[in-house]
A = this chain, B = another copy of it.
Amino acid sequence: MARPRTFDRNEALERAVALFQVHGFEHTKVPDIVESLGICRQSLYNEFGDKRGLYLAVLERYGQREIDNKLALLQSPGSPLQNLLTVIRGWAALASQCPADGCLTAAALVEHRDDAGVLAVVEAQVDRLEAGFAQALRAAQAAGELRASVDPQRIARSLTNSCYGLGLLSRLPGSAARIGDSVAAMIAMIDAAAVSGSER
C-alpha cells in the first residue's frame, strides 16, 4: 500500500551516534543530522519524534553497543580475572586516539543534567557496567583467583568510576600519558587483590 522507507533505521542511528559523540547534543544541529543521515527532515521527525527523541535512541544504542561489548568480554570462558584485566586494558586504547571523542554517556550526564529521562538511561548503563565488573570479580573469587577478603562491589564501583573518568579526561589533548597511568593503576589494584598478588 504505502511507499516503503528508503533509509535504514540502524544505519541512521549509527550515523547519529557519531554526530552526537563528536559535537554533543546542543552543537549537533538538525540540518547537520538531516544531511549526515541522508534522510529528509520530516522522516526524521516521523521516526524519532524530535531531536531529543533521536538523542535518546542514540544514547541507548551507544550504551548497548559499548557495554554489551564489555560484558561479553567479561563473561567469556576462561579466567574471570584475565577477562577483567583484558577489559580494563581495553580502555588504554583511548590513549592512542587522544583527544578522543569521549564517552557519550558521560557527556549526557553533563548536557542533560536535569532531564530525568536521560539520567535514567545513564544510570541504567552505569549500573550495568558496575554489575558486570562485580560479577566478574565474584567469579574470580569463586575460581580462587581473587582473595575472598576483598569486596567485589567496592572494587567494581571504583573501576566504574575510573572508567567514566577516563571517558571524560580522554577529551583533553595531552592526556595520553594520564590514561596509560590510570589504566596501569587500575590493573595494579586488581593485581594487589589477586591471590597470587599478596598471599603467595
Contacts and interface: CB of A to CB of B under 8 A. Distances in A.
A178 B160 CA distance: 9
A5 interface: no
A123 B173 contact: yes
> What's the dominant secondary structure at chain A's contact region?
helix
A110 B24 contact: yes
Contact of A182 (B113, B161, B168, B169): B161
Interface residues of A, number: 44
Residue in A161, A177, A184 with the greatest tally of chain B CB atoms within 10 Å: A161
Contacts of A106: 110, 168
Contacts of A32: none
A102 B107 CA distance: 13
A171 to B, nearest CB: 5
Contacts of A173: 119, 123
A181 B153 contact: yes
Contacts of A122: 172
Interface stretch (A44-52, A81-89, A139-147, A185-193): A185-193
A9 interface: no
A123 B174 contact: yes
9 contacts: A23-B113, A102-B109, A107-B110, A110-B171, A151-B181, A161-B182, A162-B162, A164-B169, A168-B168
A110 B113 contact: no
A165 B171 contact: no
A52 to B, nearest CB: 14
Contacts of A154: 181, 184-185
A35 interface: no
B109 A169 contact: yes
Contacts of A185: 154-155, 157-158, 189
